[in-house]
Amino acid sequence: MIRTVPTQPIDGQKPGTSGLRKKVPVFQQPHYVENFVQSIFDTLEGFAGTTLIVGGDGRYFNREVVQTILKMAAAAGFGRVRVGQGGLLSTPAVSVAIRKHQAFGGIILSASHNPGGPDGDFGIKYNIGNGGPAPEKITDAIFARTRSISEYRIADVPDVDIDSIGETVLGDTVVEIVDPVADYAELMQQLFDFEAIRALFAGGFTMRFDAMSAVTGPYAKRILEGLLGAAPGTVVNDTPLPDFGGHHPDPNPVNAKDLYDLMMGPDAPDFGAASDGDGDRNLIIGRGIFVTPSDSLAILAAHAHLAPGYAAGIAGIARSMPTSLAADHVAKALGIGIYETPTGWKFFGNLLDAGLATICGEESAGTGSNHIREKDGVWAVLMWLTLLSHRRQPAIDIVREHWARFGRNYYSRHDYEAVPTQAANGVMEAIRAQIPTLPGQAFGSLTVSSADDFSYHDPVDGSDSKNQGLRILFENGSRIVYRLSGTGTEGATLRVYLERFEADTARQDLDPQAALAEVIALARKLGAVVEKTGMAEPSVVT
């Protein structure tokens, strides 16, 4: 019943910041999915008879790939595969399931915040037994395997009915179709005081959660409207669609424009939030204020003890290098550790496992904690609701009070998308060449205090990750960071991260682009960004 199929290596199956991401037609090539999945299994050891978690964000091609993985997992000898009904599981829900059911690992089908549909993106990511993304050591080994693979194994069986809850047997493997929300909702109830949040909604608090026609719809609906009593209709775009309804499920003020406009307008509810394709990102908007992810991380870290799951306080905060220094001010005030890692959640896993960090975050709308090993969009919303239920004041006041106490780190990210790879590399090379001579140089009011090519030494396993972004630090606390995206599927995306610190409360209410004008101009000039990319303006400013 198991078929061994001869195959040949396919170029380019290199996992990036978060798994293997390509256009759907690339994944649809013969053997493409099979080669990659077999390369994952060939890289792992000792999984015979263990459990594998499988699910995805419901995007186009999700259902087909789930079937392939089930048949290959059976051929590989897993004892049990748990799959979300309809092939759905959010990224955080996969992490929850791996940990709760002591699974060997999990496979997530998603290209996260990238658009879906037949011409959109698809992705496959492997998570290890702690529930987190496979570390570089493993993704490198998987990639190496894709270059030498000569056959894959697949069970020759009909498709499994993935829409009905229950168990099916494939050879020696039990396939279990499960409610995708149950385990996740149960964990949230352990971490948060649902009574307190329910009381907030019962008191007339209003909210909009935009699931962007992606995977968080069922989670948000069950938790916010079901368990917490938010008004029906609080969750919008709540049905996961294969093409996300044509939306770009990247929860930032640009792509979640409807929500943003609502929150800035006269009919704004008290609170707004959104999540991305696979449910691990969060957008937080109060009435009249977009809370930057970097600020949100700092604010949540400062208040985490209000949630029962963190009542004992937090051990430390970890942030990715481009994320603003706002969290550092909080860590200092709390007298706890602060860790600076490369971009991508996989770098937080060891710090969380070792108990060094409790709360982690990235400027790209990712926030999470040691409850799992992924960032978690709905979790971040529940953290905010916890805070709002205690403080009973508008989000905008909470943010302003935070700035008054810790100072404000004005922050913005400028993305230059679909740039020819050579041009993007040209910007990086231009900066890299200047790094040795930048320290000490003054540009207007900005004097460079240090500049480097960021490398990370993992304090837990001792591994080193080099070339993780070019950063220029200034004496007044400003910062410029340049990096190339590792999740795009078209040309290169240059990300320029811009930051400036402002301690004076009288100057904390400026428009970020205006407040950062000098830093922005310098960043463009140093990298000759306009000349090299041929773009007068970035594609996306967040």
Q: Active-site residue numbers? A: 112
Q: Which does 210 bind (CB under 5 to 8 A by kind): Co ion, ligand VG1, none?
A: none
Residues in contact with ligand VG1 by the rule CB under 6 A: 17-18, 112-113, 276, 280-281, 320, 343-345, 362, 364, 366, 485-487, 495
Q: Which does 341 bind (CB under 5 to 8 A by kind): Co ion, ligand VG1, none?
A: none
Shortest Cβ distance from residue 108 to ligand VG1 (Å)? 9
Footprint on residues 249-278 left by Co ion (CB under 5 A): 276, 278
| Of 17 and 252, CB closest to ligand VG1 | 17
**What does DSSP say about strands 271-275 and 207-210: parallel, antiparallel, or unpaired?**
parallel
Residue 499: closest CA among 491, 490, 482, 484: 482
Is the Cα torsion angle 461, 463, 469, 473 positive or negative in sign?
positive
Looking at this protein, which amino acid is placed at residue 156? D
Is the Cα torsion angle 327, 271, 512, 379 positive or negative in sign?
positive
The encoded tokens of residue 110 equal: 């998603």
Shortest Cβ distance from residue 125 to ligand VG1 (Å)? 8
Stretch that binds Co ion, among 111-119, 219-227, 256-264, 487-495 (CB under 5 A): 111-119
Exposed/middle/buried for residue 191 (C-beta within 10 Å: 0-12, 13-18, 19+): middle
Instruction: Tell me which of 42, 57, 280, 363 binds Co ion, using CB under 5 A.
Output: 280
Q: Which does 344 bind (CB under 5 to 8 A by kind): ligand VG1, Co ion, none?
A: ligand VG1
| Of 18 and 252, CB closest to ligand VG1 | 18
Percentage helix, strand, coil for the chain under 3-state DSSP, each rounded to 5: 35, 25, 40
Give the separation between CA 116 and CA 118, rounded to whole angstroms.
7
Give the DSSP letter of residue 16.
B
Residue 382: closest CA among 268, 316, 284: 284
Query: What number of other Cβ atoms are within 10 A of residue 490's Cβ?
Result: 11
Does 112 participate in binding Co ion (rule CB under 5 A)? yes
Q: Which does 345 bind (CB under 5 to 8 A by kind): ligand VG1, Co ion, none?
A: ligand VG1
Shortest Cβ distance from residue 178 to ligand VG1 (Å)? 23
| Of 276 and 295, CB closest to Co ion | 276
Q: Which does 221 bind (CB under 5 to 8 A by kind): Co ion, ligand VG1, none?
A: none
| Of 112 and 485, CB closest to Co ion | 112
Query: Residue 228: CB partners within 8 Å, gap ≥ 6?
Result: 194, 197, 198, 201, 385
Stretch that binds Co ion, among 42-50, 105-113, 245-253, 509-517 (CB under 5 A): 105-113
In the bound complex, which residue of the shown chain has the CB atom lying closest to ligand VG1?
112
Which residues form the interface with Co ion (CB under 5 A)? 112, 276, 278, 280-281
